[in-house]
C-alpha cells in the first residue's frame, strides 16, 4: 500500500470514531491530478446493454504506476459491476490492466465472490475481461430504461423484506389503511419455511384490513428477474440445493397461493428510489435505505428506472488499508460498513458504548437511539461519523450517478440522530465538494415513511386490470 499512500488523502472532516477513513472520492481526485493517460472501462450486461466509464491513469514512467493503476482500475470496475451490473468487462488500455483484473477474479477472495455472485448467479456466466487497444474498439454504449410502479387503483398489499425486519402495508386507492413492522432474522436461517411463513404472516395481517386483495407488490434485498430470486442475502443460510429447487420460485409459489393475482417483487433499492420519486414529485433521484445493510436505487431524469443493479452495499467507498472487512463479500471499505446498521454496530466500541455482544443489530441500534434521545455524547459521535461517511460517499457516487435529489431513509435515520447525520453530510459537501453541494438537494420522509415508505411504494408495483 506504500505506493498508494500519496493518493489516500486525509479528509478535511475526519470521522472521530474512524480516523483512518480515507474517502474514495478524495483518493480519485488525488489520483486524477497525477494522471496523464486515459483508459476507458465498460461493463456489458446479458441483454447487450453497455456502460462506459472513462478513467485517467498514471503514465508508465510514474514510480507508482504498476500498483496504483491496477488498484484504481479494479476499485472502479468493482463499483461498475455492483452499481451498474454486467458480466463482461472491457478495458480500452494497457494489457497489464486487463491481466491484473483477470488474476483478481480468478485468485483473490473478493474477486472470486464478485465473479460467482454477479457473474454466475446473476448473469449465468463468470466475469470475463476483454482488452482492446482504443476506446473506438469498445462496443457502443447502450442502455434500457422502464417505468416502475405508480399504480394505485384497487386494494393492494405492499411488503418490504429486510435483514432485521419485514414491513407490510394495506393500501386502498392510494391510501394506506394499515402498516406493521415485524422483527425477524432471515440471514442465516437454513429452513426456507422460516422465510415463507414470515411473508405469509405479514400478507395475512394486511389482508385482514382490506375488503379484497387485487394485487401484491414486494420489495426485498437482492436481485430479482421476473419475480424469480437470482441472488439475495435474505436466503444466505438456505442450502444451495434448496435455494435452487425452491427458494428461487418462492414468490411464484406465493402468487399461486393468492389465486394468481398480480404479484410483483423487485429489488428493495429500486423501490427506495420509487418511493422517493413519488413522495417528492421529482426525478433524478438517488434513494439510499440504511437498514440492516444498504439498499439503493436510482430514478433517472425521465422518471424511469434503469437496468442497473444499484447494489451499493458492495461498492467501495473507503480506500484505507485498515478499512473494515464486510463479512459476506470479504471485501474492505464497501458500503454496507458505512451506510447501515452494520456501521452503527462497528462504531459502538470506538464510541465507548458497551452492549451485550449477543444482541442483534436492531437491538444495538435501538440502544444507540435511546442514548441519542437522552443526549449521550457517545451516541452523538456515532451519528456525526455516519454523517461524514455519507457526505464523502455521495461525492463518490456522483462520479457514477447523475442525481440532483437524494432521499435517505431506513431505520438508521430514525430520530434526532438521522437529522444530525444529514447535517454532517451537508457540511462535507459544502466544504470539500461545493459544486456538488449546490446541485444536490437532500430529502427526508416523515418518521412513518422512513420506516414504512418502501412497503407502501411496493404496493404500487402490480398493474391491476
The predicted-structure confidence for 27-46, as pLDDT tens digits, reads as follows 999 999 999 999 999 999 98
Looking at the DSSP assignment, which residues form a beta bridge with residue 266? 219
Is residue 124 over pLDDT 70?
A: yes
Q: In this structure, are residues 250 and 229 in contact, taking their beta carbons and an 8 Å threshold?
A: yes
Domains and CATH numbers, the chain: 35-143 (no CATH), 144-465 (3.30.420.40)
Q: Is the CB of residue 308 less than 8 Å from the CB of residue 84?
A: yes
The whole-angstrom separation of Cα 190 and Cα 88 is: 33
Q: Is the pTM of this model over 0.85?
A: yes
Look at residue 239 in the predicted model and tell me its pLDDT: 94
Q: What would the pLDDT profile of 259-300 be if each residue is shown by its tens digit?
A: 999 999 998 888 888 888 887 889 999 999 898 899 899 999
Contact partners, residue 317, CB within 8 Å, separation at least 6: 23, 24, 333, 334, 335, 338, 389, 392, 393, 396
Q: Is 145 helix (H, G, I), strand (E, B) or coil?
A: strand
Calpha distance 304→284 (Å, rounded): 9
In this structure, what are the phi and psi dihedrals at residue 199, rounded to the nearest 5 degrees? -65, -45
Whether 322 has a pLDDT exceeding 70, the answer reads yes
**Averaged over 138-150, what is the pLDDT?**
90
pLDDT value of position 291: 87
pLDDT of residue 163 exceeding 90, the answer is no
Residue 273's pLDDT is what? 85
Note the pLDDT of residue 280: 83
pLDDT band at 167 (very low <50, low <70, confident <90, very high): very high
pLDDT of residue 1: 57
Give 377's pLDDT tier (boundaries 50, 70, 90). Answer: very high
- 386 in Cβ contact with 424 (< 8 Å): yes
Residue 304: pLDDT band (50, 70, 90) is confident
Q: Is the pLDDT at 448 greater than 80, yes or no?
A: no
Could you give the 3-state DSSP secondary structure of residue 175?
strand
What are residue 206's phi and psi, to 5 degrees? Answer: -70, -40
> What average pLDDT does this structure show over 391-402?
98
Question: Can you give the pLDDT at residue 218?
Answer: 96
Amino acid at each position: 500500500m506504500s505506493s498508494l499512500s500519496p493518493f489516500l488523502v486525509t479528509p478535511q472532516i475526519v470521522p472521530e470514531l474512524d480516523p483512518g477513513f480515507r474517502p474514495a472520492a478524495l483518493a480519485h481526485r488525488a489520483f486524477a491530478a497525477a494522471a496523464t493517460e486515459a483508459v476507458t472501462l465498460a461493463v456489458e450486461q446479458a441483454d447487450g446493454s453497455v456502460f462506459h466509464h472513462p478513467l485517467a491513469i498514471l503514465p508508465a514512467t510514474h514510480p507508482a504506476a504498476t500498483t496504483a493503476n491496477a488498484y484504481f482500475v479494479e476499485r472502479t470496475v468493482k463499483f461498475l459491476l455492483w452499481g451498474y451490473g454486467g458480466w463482461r468487462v472491457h478495458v480500452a488500455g494497457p494489457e497489464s490492466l486487463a491481466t491484473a483484473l483477470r488474476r483478481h477474479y480468478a485468485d483473490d477472495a473478493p474477486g472470486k465472490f464478485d465473479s460467482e455472485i454477479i457473474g454466475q448467479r446473476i448473469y449465468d456466466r463468470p466475469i470475463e475481461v476483454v482488452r482492446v487497444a482504443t476506446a473506438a474498439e469498445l462496443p457502443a454504449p447502450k442502455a434500457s430504461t422502464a417505468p416502475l410502479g405508480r399504480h394505485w387503483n384497487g386494494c393492494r398489499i405492499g411488503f418490504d423484506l429486510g435483514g432485521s425486519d419485514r414491513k407490510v402495508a394495506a393500501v386502498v386507492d392510494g391510501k394506506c389503511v394499515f402498516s406493521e413492522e415485524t422483527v425477524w432474522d432471515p440471514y442465516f436461517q437454513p429452513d426456507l419455511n422460516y422465510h415463507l411463513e414470515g411473508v405469509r404472516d405479514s400478507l395475512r395481517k394486511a389482508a385482514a384490513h382490506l375488503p379484497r386483495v387485487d394485487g401484491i407488490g414486494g420489495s426485498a434485498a437482492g436481485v430479482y428477474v421476473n419475480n424469480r430470486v437470482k441472488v439475495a442475502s435474505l436466503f444466505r443460510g438456505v442450502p444451495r440445493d434448496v435455494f435452487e429447487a425452491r427458494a428461487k420460485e418462492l414468490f411464484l409459489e406465493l402468487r399461486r397461493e393468492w389465486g394468481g393475482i398480480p404479484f410483483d417483487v423487485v429489488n428493495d433499492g429500486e423501490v427506495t428510489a420509487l418511493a422517493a420519486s413519488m413522495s417528492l414529485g421529482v426525478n433524478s433521484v438517488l434513494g439510499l435505505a440504511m437498514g440492516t445493510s444498504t439498499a439503493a436505487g436510482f430514478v433517472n431524469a425521465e422518471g424511469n428506472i434503469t437496468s442497473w443493479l444499484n447494489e451499493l452495499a458492495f461498492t467501495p467507498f473507503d480506500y484505507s488499508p485498515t478499512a473494515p472487512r464486510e463479512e459476506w463479500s470479504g471485501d474492505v471499505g464497501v458500503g454496507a460498513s458505512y451506510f447501515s446498521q452494520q456501521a452503527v454496530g462497528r462504531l459502538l466500541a470506538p464510541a465507548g458504548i458497551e452492549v451485550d455482544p449477543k444482541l442483534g443489530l436492531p437491538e444495538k441500534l435501538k440502544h444507540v437511539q435511546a442514548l441519542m434521545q437522552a443526549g449521550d455524547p457517545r451516541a452523538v459521535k456515532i451519528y456525526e461519523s455516519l454523517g461524514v461517511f455519507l457526505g464523502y460517499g455521495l461525492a463518490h457516487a456522483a462520479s457514477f450517478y447523475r442525481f440532483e435529489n437524494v432521499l435517505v431513509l431506513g431505520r438508521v435515520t430514525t430520530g434526532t440522530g438521522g437529522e444530525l447525520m444529514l447535517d454532517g453530510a451537508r457540511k462535507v459537501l459544502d466544504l470539500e465538494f461545493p459544486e456538488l453541494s449546490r446541485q444536490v438537494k437532500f430529502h427526508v420522509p416523515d418518521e412513518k415513511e422512513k420506516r414504512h415508505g418502501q412497503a407502501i411504494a411496493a404496493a404500487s408495483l402490480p398493474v391491476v386490470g
